A and B are shown apart, each in its own frame.
Chain A
Amino acid sequence: MTEPIIQPDLMRISWGPQHPMSGQTRILLDIDGEKVYKIIADLGFTHRGIEKILENRTFFQGVIPIERMVMADTANIGLGYITAIEEALDIQVPERAQWIRSLICEMGRINSHLYAFGLQAEATGYFPAVFLWTTTDRTPILDLFEELTGARWSYNFFLPGGVYKDLPEGFQGKIIKVVHYLRRRFQDYWDALVENAVFELRCNGLAVLKPEDAIRLGATGPVLRGSGVAMDVRRDEPYAAYGDLDFQVMTEQACDVMARTKVRFKEIGQSLNMMEQIANEIPGGEIRARTTPFMRGKEAEALSRVETARGELQIHVFTEATPNPYRVKINSPTLRNMYVFERLAELNEILMADIPVVISSIDPWYLDSDR
């Protein structure tokens, strides 16, 4: 990156991409003493050109590279692409498949949020134990994934028209068991992390993002809901089975790092409720519509919206009479939230030592922003 000009009285520090908390990005911080005056994100370290790759893959093959965008949350990302294709190609999906999709998406959301807490606990510096807890408690969910899809990460389980396999025998009972286990653990996390005095001191009132700023700067997901704006694609325009599921959109009014953490916590609770509801009420029937691997498209375009763990993902697919899309535009949530992160130093007083805490509250995933 050609670096923008620095003000003469400031010092520029390059943070990442090798820093343990930075992830695969470099962040330039213009500082005076401890205070950060300007944040510049240098993205692109993990740019793989997924949009270009998808242009050269059939609709079925495209599901595999696009899931590599967010490894902790592959189901939601894949669903965004698949719903766009289904809309462009007029494919009707059976109801049972929609419910199975919602189940996997919610499991993925819990998986991703647990990982986010682990990193947040790590960033505040006092709670390595919480990181180990959350990593361990992802295991029952990954076990469910393994039994259902054959893979613990990156399932490639959705396909245009439905899902690959039906639920195995006795799977509903296992879901309920995991839900009960995680609900119990949930209380432990709340006591150990959110209501911990040290964590409160570190996070309360830090990096405040007012609702009007959040909207103007294009924030999305838990960052937007943490600023008190009740916006969730699952509620606004229900896809998969979300129209039939009972859940609430969680918001917090405090607009700070703590608010974003609490939103994620409460969303896990909602996801657990939804998992339980799906296990109890999933309808019977077919699990996939008739589709062929080399099906051709037609002259059409479709713009899908799904709510991933990091926020709203929009995928705009242009198709023509070929087996591969003409163009795929991916509007990723992390890219939007990274812009908010760049501006936070101008809206608030942020100190050097708080940068890891602030960035982990955004929950960035750079494979997602770089694509």
Chain B
Amino acid sequence: MSEDTIINKIKEAHQDQIESATIMRAKRLSIVVKRESFVEVAKSLRDTFGFTQPSAGGGVDYPTENRMQMIYYLMNLEHRVLLTYRVNVPRDAPKLPSLTQVWEALSFHEREAHEMFGFEFEGHPNMIPFLLPPDWRGGHPLRKDFKGEGVTA
């Protein structure tokens, strides 16, 4: 099954739930999903489309557009296709459901995105600090307007 077929099938099954589905290049797919159907499409990707192996997850900050994007990297072992599964959230209220209920291995990556970008993952089982020191005075280092630890202005 080529990348074309996979992306068309996903589009067909989730027409109203995804914002866009594109082929970045050979073996790389990209899906931007609407926030309300985020978990539902993820479950279908795992069960129907064979994206069984989670690789990672991380964010990107776009302050000029007042949004942040959370990106999950998912692997289809049968066709060896890497999918970037993206969801946009507003920058001032970056809340989204946790995908650990679908791929539990994303736990580490969501903890990292939480402290680096300030994403709030609803339903994450173990949201404790990850890479930053325990006495961290605040601030999300990978946001574009980060000025320093504990600097709020």
Contacts and interface: CB of A to CB of B under 8 A. Distances in A.
Interface of A: 1-4, 43-44, 47, 49, 51-52, 87, 215-218, 220, 229, 231, 236-237, 301, 303, 305, 312, 314, 316, 318, 327, 329, 331, 335-336, 338-340, 370-371
Which DSSP category, helix, strand, loop or mixed, fits chain A's interface? mixed
A267 B54 CA distance: 25
Contact of A336 (B55, B71, B133): B55
Given A217-B104, A218-B105, A303-B82, A335 B56 contact: yes
B54 A2 contact: no
Interface string B96-140: 000000011101110000000000000000101111111000000
Contacts of A216: 52-53, 103-105
A331 B128 contact: no
A2 B25 CA distance: 42
A39 to B, nearest CB: 13
A217 B107 CA distance: 10
A338 B28 contact: no
Q: Which 9 A-B pairs have the closest CB atoms?
A: A331-B56, A218-B105, A44-B131, A47-B131, A236-B80, A329-B58, A218-B54, A217-B105, A215-B53
B142 A237 contact: no
A215 B71 contact: no
Contacts of A87: 25
Contacts of A331: 55-56, 58, 73
Given A44-B132, A218-B105, A303-B28, A51 B142 contact: yes
27 contacts: A1-B128, A1-B129, A4-B128, A44-B130, A51-B142, A52-B141, A215-B77, A216-B103, A216-B104, A218-B53, A218-B54, A229-B77, A231-B77, A237-B27, A303-B73, A314-B82, A316-B71, A316-B84, A329-B56, A329-B60, A329-B71, A331-B56, A331-B73, A335-B108, A338-B108, A339-B108, A371-B131
Contact of A318 (B60, B105, B129, B133): B60
Contacts of B52: 215-216
B73 A2 contact: no
Nearest to B26: A237
A218 B75 CA distance: 9
Interface of B: 24-28, 52-56, 58, 60-61, 71, 73, 77, 80, 82, 84, 103-105, 107-109, 126, 128-134, 141-142, 146
A305 B82 contact: yes
Contacts of A4: 126, 128
A236 to B, nearest CB: 4
A49 B141 contact: yes
A237 B80 contact: yes
A218 B103 contact: yes
B82 A2 contact: no
A43 B24 contact: no
Contacts of B128: 1-4
A1 B134 contact: yes
Contacts of B26: 237
B33 to A, nearest CB: 18
A253 B136 CA distance: 45
A91 B77 CA distance: 29
Contacts of B133: 44
Contacts of B60: 318, 327, 329
Nearest to B27: A237
Contacts of A44: 129-133
B140 to A, nearest CB: 11
B23 to A, nearest CB: 12
Name the residue in A49, A218, A312, A339 with the highest tally of chain B Cβ atoms < 10 Å from its Cβ: A218
Given A231-B77, A303-B24, A2 B129 contact: yes
Contacts of A215: 52-53, 77
Given A218-B54, A314-B56, A336 B80 contact: no
A112 to B, nearest CB: 21
A370 B108 contact: no
A141 B111 CA distance: 39
B142 A312 contact: no
Contacts of B58: 316, 329, 331
